[in-house]
Chains A and B, each alone.
Chain A
Amino acid sequence: MIETKEIEYKPKDFSSDQEVKWCPGCGDYAILKAVQKAMPLIGKKREDIVFVSGIGCSSRFPYYMDTFGFHGIHGRAPALASGVKLANPDLSVWQITGDGDALAIGGNHFIHAIRRNMGLNILLFNNRIYGLTKGQFSPTTNLGQKTKSSPQGVIDNPFHPGELILGAQGTFFARTVDINPRHLTDIAVDAEKHAGTAVIEILQNCVIFNDKVFSDYTSKENKHDALLYAEHGKPMIFGKESDKGLRLNGLEIEVVTIGENGVTEDDLIVHDAHVVNPTLHFMLVRLEFPMVLGVIRSVEQEPFEERLTKQVAEVEAKSPFKTMDDLLQSGETWEIK
């Protein structure tokens, strides 16, 4: 169990001596700071924290954290993280990945890690583009967008990461955005508290190859009316004047204005992140306007490593072999003199 008591660390204790090499203005800087701020709050010793990653701009992240770190190979970080966690379940294991790393080359590992529900925290930086290879479209790039490898526009349908995670039976999914690092810090702490795999999708701006891709949501003028911060047990309200909300209309979610057409706060959906049936969560992750942020799903389920520990205890109690020598000498043996 995680102790919520704050250990005597400061965010800068988690900053390594390596020079950070992202492009000036990259959304990753804010994410790094927010995560460094979360670390003193998770109740883990620095030496018990491991950051692993795959390949891509975001995957340089472990080099900048003064914790244990492993920069792996493209797409394979979920497997790397799983090995670390199983080898030593006491470690707090964080996986940093991007939309290409997690959803294209590493798609298989990503869904299987989620399905197993091991105690991993996965931060998915979604900038809807390949940055490190200089501007090709990714599995989340908008349909029709022109990129270096789609000069006439993308004709692949994009993934909604949240749907993939829910479809893989994810027990924790949250979404946030690089312009609100404080929100990310809070969610990162929630993720660590969750027993099982927690995925946080972070909408992140690539200033060089996909600048302003999220500006419909994140610009000063739009951010209040286009982003909804969901909280479990609270009505789904957003807007500069907090006068807009989400209402269920059959199997669709509709945006309504409180006070108009007789709509009151009581008509709005009250967010339930803990409901096991993911139908509401599917609707929330698919909603394009407003974009729902916050912890969308957080349900309890015994994580993989606890099931494993139980099995070990069961085998231990039942097995006739208590020592290695018992095993080596088991079965039918015969003596040659």
Chain B
Amino acid sequence: MSVEKQELEKVVIKFAGDSGDGMQLTGMQFTGTSALLGNDIATFPDYPAEIRAPQGTVAGVSGFQVHIGKSQVHTPGDHADVLVSMNAAALKANLNYVPVGKTIILDTDNFKKRDWEKAGFEEDPLSSGVLDKYNVIEAPITSLTKAALSDLGLDNKSVVRSKNMFALGLVYWMFSRPMEHTESFLNKKFGKKAPIIAEANIKAMKAGYNYAETIEALASAFTVLPADLEPGTYKNVMGNQATAWGFLAAAEKAGLELFLGSYPITPASEILHEIASYKHFGAKAFQAEDEIAGVVSTIGAAFAGNLAITTTSGPGLALKSEAIGLAVITELPMVIVNVQRGGPSTGLPTKTEQSDLLQAMYGRNGESPVIVIAASSPANCFDYAFEASKLALEHMTPVILLTDGYLGNGSQPWKIRTMAELPKISPKFVPDSLKDDWLPYMRDEESLARYWGVPGQKEFIHRIGGLEKDELTGNVSYDPMNHEVMVKTRSEKVRRVANYIPDLKVEGVYEGDLLVVGWGGTYGSLLTAVNQCNCEEGKTIGIAHFNYINPLPKNTAEIFSKFKKILVCELNEGQFIHVLRSNLPEFEYTKFNKIQGLPFTVNELHDAFNKILSED
């Protein structure tokens, strides 16, 4: 190869096309291959709510963004360094995300007058000058694919479907990636059932690769060397998959069967799909008739002694509220996962938002405290699903685990855990010493967790329910003082969880002018922006990112006190800031928010940090 390879630190590539063009698959293949080369990775699929929105329109554009790096990568990237645009609509939808001077690869076969008009361009973008400032590679991808596959005797539809592989081959060459990974994937996927389709796809990919090598438009090819990650064995995981595996691991560690009661909802359904595949690990995935039955069957399973989980997204959590109250008063262990999306109501089903923190905290009738925790990367969805299960089982309370569409659908290299290295989980079964005089609401003195006496054991025959309970026997009690005691005990039980969770960590600097505060899925963007400000501009910014929200870590106030200003950054109108103001009113908080169904970009955070630092 005569082309000189240029080494890049990081690069962001976006594949965009019609929602039927196979862009998700193309992006995942590029991701998988890059992961095997040892790059650090973050991905973000961006797809329409409609399964097949009108072809050729901006509404129907499906994209997959992947950020690969030699150094650590914390976000899928703000901007695309390379945009692969399979039609005019994909260009229209993504042009704003490509900085001047970067590369755009276009399938010119889909830039006819009808195409660019449908996409909403007023003039032909190929000749109007809008692309003048970019490095544009015009390739008739569709017709080249047709030509390459002409001798296979395939129907036109199947031929055209292979064009995404042509584009992938082209990008593989640009970034010096081998094709073996995708080749074996295609053989595995189609090899037995439709070997001709596997052959067509592989042929199209190779044609794209060779085409890229041949044409002069690609002045240089790039390479991104392996990243400097912690030693270990890695695999690429998506957040929702990691969540499911965290629960499977927790059930095994606790010695319990796993029960998932769930109703399909975007963007949480993948957790249900994943758990449904592992029945032989004692995992039971029950697809209920609605959200309410999902959570209530979960409560039934918790009563009967399973590790009980329900999964949903915002509107589903609203439907589950009454039942979560039942789990609070019956003090049963269960986890409610909310893969958040834009709200209110049906809102933005496929877009991300930190929409439901306040709903998770307060969205129930009566005094109804639960533990609330949040994952902060696709890979650590595993750890927080495991942790949510451990807290539920050891503290006998419902736990709400918040992730979001960005984490759930995003992917990242995950350092594989072994079962041996995971912490122990000790469900709050009745200790032998209490067996003879056990009462349903007897508690562990330190944690205030009640003990779990499950059906099948004679000593523990008892009745519970949604009416207020006597503080010891659990019988129905309308006694005024008992009610007050019970409300306070349930609340104190959750408060004491603070004694069992890790301290809040600060990164960046430990004291200084500004503390950036975030929670959940924004960690990658916030950390990248803070590091950039500190390293490149010599600022003194700390970042405290919360995974534990109710209760807050015990050292929160101590950390806050070391900084002059606190900026709470959220993808909502300001929810965590309410929680902080009511828990730690002695500090002053400023907020920075974005509510566009999109993650923060590093640039906008950078500007926000500079703005608050410049104010006095």
In the complex, the answer to whether B236 meets A63 with C-beta atoms within 8 Å is no
Using A79-B293, A91-B456, A325-B418 as known contacts, say yes or no to A69 and B462 having CB atoms under 8 A apart: yes
Q: Does B252 contact A (CB under 8 A)?
A: yes
In the complex, the answer to whether A80 meets B462 with C-beta atoms within 8 Å is no
Interface size, chain B (Cβ < 8 Å): 69
A298–B462 CA distance with the chains assembled, in angstroms = 32
In the complex, the answer to whether A109 meets B293 with C-beta atoms within 8 Å is yes
Interface size, chain A (Cβ < 8 Å): 58
Q: Does A46 contact B (CB under 8 A)?
A: yes
In the complex, the answer to whether B300 meets A62 with C-beta atoms within 8 Å is no
Chain A residues within an 8 Å CB radius of B424: none
In the complex, the answer to whether A68 meets B463 with C-beta atoms within 8 Å is yes
Q: Does A312 contact B (CB under 8 A)?
A: yes
Q: Would you give 20 A-B contacts (Cβ < 8 Å), ordered by A?
A: A52-B300, A63-B476, A67-B461, A68-B463, A70-B464, A71-B465, A72-B299, A73-B323, A76-B323, A79-B294, A83-B286, A83-B302, A311-B279, A321-B281, A327-B281, A329-B416, A333-B235, A333-B416, A335-B232, A336-B233
A238 to B: closest C-beta gap in Å: 38
Chain A residues within an 8 Å CB radius of B457: 47
A63–B252 CA distance with the chains assembled, in angstroms = 34
Q: B290-307, CB under 8 A of A: which get 1 and which 0?
A: 101110111111111110
Chain B residues within an 8 Å CB radius of A329: 233, 235, 416
A19–B330 CA distance with the chains assembled, in angstroms = 21
Chain A residues within an 8 Å CB radius of B418: 325, 328
In the complex, the answer to whether A73 meets B416 with C-beta atoms within 8 Å is no
In the complex, the answer to whether B38 meets A336 with C-beta atoms within 8 Å is yes
Find the residue from A53, A55, A312 having the highest chain B CB count within 10 A: A312
In the complex, the answer to whether B248 meets A331 with C-beta atoms within 8 Å is no
* Shortest Cβ distance from A335 into B: residue: B233
Q: Does B231 contact A (CB under 8 A)?
A: yes
In the complex, the answer to whether B231 meets A87 with C-beta atoms within 8 Å is no
Q: Does A82 contact B (CB under 8 A)?
A: yes
B389 to A: closest C-beta gap in Å: 14
Q: Does B419 contact A (CB under 8 A)?
A: yes
* Shortest Cβ distance from B256 into A: residue: A87
In the complex, the answer to whether B419 meets A83 with C-beta atoms within 8 Å is no
Q: Does B126 contact A (CB under 8 A)?
A: no
Q: A306-327, CB under 8 A of B: which get 1 and which 0?
A: 0010011001100101011101
Which B414-447 residues sit within 8 Å CB-CB of chain A?
416-419
In the complex, the answer to whether B305 meets A83 with C-beta atoms within 8 Å is no
- Selected contact of B322 from candidates A69, A73, A328, CB within 8 Å: A73
Using A71-B463, A80-B299, A86-B286 as known contacts, say yes or no to A324 and B259 having CB atoms under 8 A apart: no
Q: Does A301 contact B (CB under 8 A)?
A: no
Chain A residues within an 8 Å CB radius of B458: 45-47
Chain A residues within an 8 Å CB radius of B235: 329, 331-334
Chain A residues within an 8 Å CB radius of B304: 50, 83-84, 87-88, 91
Instruction: List 6 additional contacts besides A83-B304, A86-B297, A327-B281; criterion CB under 8 Å.
Output: A65-B463, A87-B259, A88-B306, A109-B296, A324-B249, A334-B234
In the complex, the answer to whether B416 meets A328 with C-beta atoms within 8 Å is yes
Q: Per DSSP, are chain B's interface residues mostly helix, strand or loop, or mixed?
A: mixed
A82–B476 CA distance with the chains assembled, in angstroms = 24
- Selected contact of B35 from candidates A76, A312, A332, CB within 8 Å: A332
In the complex, the answer to whether A324 meets B252 with C-beta atoms within 8 Å is yes
* Shortest Cβ distance from A305 into B: residue: B284
A105 to B: closest C-beta gap in Å: 10
Nearest first, the 6 closest Cβ-Cβ pairs linking A and B are: A83-B300, A71-B465, A69-B463, A83-B297, A87-B304, A79-B296
Q: Does B221 contact A (CB under 8 A)?
A: no
In the complex, the answer to whether B465 meets A62 with C-beta atoms within 8 Å is yes
A320 to B: closest C-beta gap in Å: 11
In the complex, the answer to whether B466 meets A46 with C-beta atoms within 8 Å is no
In the complex, the answer to whether B301 meets A84 with C-beta atoms within 8 Å is yes
In the complex, the answer to whether A73 meets B245 with C-beta atoms within 8 Å is no
In the complex, the answer to whether A62 meets B463 with C-beta atoms within 8 Å is yes
* Shortest Cβ distance from A71 into B: residue: B465
Q: A35-71, CB under 8 A of B: which get 1 and which 0?
A: 0000000000111101011010000001101111111
Q: B516-533, CB under 8 A of A: which get 1 and which 0?
A: 000000000000000000
In the complex, the answer to whether B296 meets A76 with C-beta atoms within 8 Å is yes
* Shortest Cβ distance from A308 into B: residue: B284
In the complex, the answer to whether A70 meets B280 with C-beta atoms within 8 Å is no
Chain B residues within an 8 Å CB radius of A336: 38, 226-227, 229-234
* Shortest Cβ distance from A18 into B: residue: B475
In the complex, the answer to whether B231 meets A47 with C-beta atoms within 8 Å is no
Q: Does A112 contact B (CB under 8 A)?
A: yes
Q: Does B551 contact A (CB under 8 A)?
A: no
A322–B181 CA distance with the chains assembled, in angstroms = 26
Which B224-279 residues sit within 8 Å CB-CB of chain A?
226-227, 229-236, 245, 248-249, 252, 257, 259, 261, 277-279
In the complex, the answer to whether A50 meets B455 with C-beta atoms within 8 Å is yes
Chain B residues within an 8 Å CB radius of A332: 32, 35-36, 181, 235-236
Using A70-B464, A81-B300 as known contacts, say yes or no to A112 and B289 having CB atoms under 8 A apart: yes
In the complex, the answer to whether A83 meets B36 with C-beta atoms within 8 Å is no
A76–B465 CA distance with the chains assembled, in angstroms = 12
* Shortest Cβ distance from B37 into A: residue: A334
- Selected contact of A84 from candidates B181, B227, B303, B323, CB within 8 Å: B303
Chain A residues within an 8 Å CB radius of B455: 47-48, 50, 68, 84, 88, 91
Chain B residues within an 8 Å CB radius of A52: 300
A67–B455 CA distance with the chains assembled, in angstroms = 9
Q: Does B308 contact A (CB under 8 A)?
A: yes
In the complex, the answer to whether B231 meets A83 with C-beta atoms within 8 Å is no
A311–B463 CA distance with the chains assembled, in angstroms = 33
* Shortest Cβ distance from A51 into B: residue: B463
Q: Does B217 contact A (CB under 8 A)?
A: no
B412 to A: closest C-beta gap in Å: 14
Chain A residues within an 8 Å CB radius of B130: none
* Shortest Cβ distance from B228 into A: residue: A336
Chain A residues within an 8 Å CB radius of B323: 73, 76
Q: B197-233, CB under 8 A of A: which get 1 and which 0?
A: 0000000000000000000000000000011011111
Q: Does A242 contact B (CB under 8 A)?
A: no
A188–B126 CA distance with the chains assembled, in angstroms = 78
In the complex, the answer to whether B466 meets A324 with C-beta atoms within 8 Å is no
Q: Does B559 contact A (CB under 8 A)?
A: no
A6–B278 CA distance with the chains assembled, in angstroms = 39
A228–B280 CA distance with the chains assembled, in angstroms = 49
Q: Does B467 contact A (CB under 8 A)?
A: yes
Q: Does B579 contact A (CB under 8 A)?
A: no
Chain B residues within an 8 Å CB radius of A85: 300
- Selected contact of B280 from candidates A46, A53, A315, A331, CB within 8 Å: A315
In the complex, the answer to whether A47 meets B461 with C-beta atoms within 8 Å is yes
In the complex, the answer to whether A315 meets B279 with C-beta atoms within 8 Å is yes
In the complex, the answer to whether A72 meets B465 with C-beta atoms within 8 Å is yes
A327 to B: closest C-beta gap in Å: 7
Q: Does A267 contact B (CB under 8 A)?
A: no
A71–B461 CA distance with the chains assembled, in angstroms = 14
- Selected contact of B305 from candidates A70, A71, A88, CB within 8 Å: A88
Chain B residues within an 8 Å CB radius of A220: none
Chain A residues within an 8 Å CB radius of B416: 328-329, 333
Chain B residues within an 8 Å CB radius of A70: 300, 303, 330, 463-465
A325–B235 CA distance with the chains assembled, in angstroms = 13
Find the residue from A86, A88, A319, A328 having the highest chain B CB count within 10 A: A328
Q: Does B53 contact A (CB under 8 A)?
A: no
- Selected contact of A86 from candidates B284, B290, B463, CB within 8 Å: B284
Q: Does B608 contact A (CB under 8 A)?
A: no
A327–B414 CA distance with the chains assembled, in angstroms = 14
B295 to A: closest C-beta gap in Å: 8
Chain B residues within an 8 Å CB radius of A90: 456
In the complex, the answer to whether B38 meets A84 with C-beta atoms within 8 Å is no
Q: Does A5 contact B (CB under 8 A)?
A: no
A311–B285 CA distance with the chains assembled, in angstroms = 12
Find the residue from A83, A312, A328, A334 having the highest chain B CB count within 10 A: A83
* Shortest Cβ distance from B457 into A: residue: A47
Chain A residues within an 8 Å CB radius of B249: 324, 328
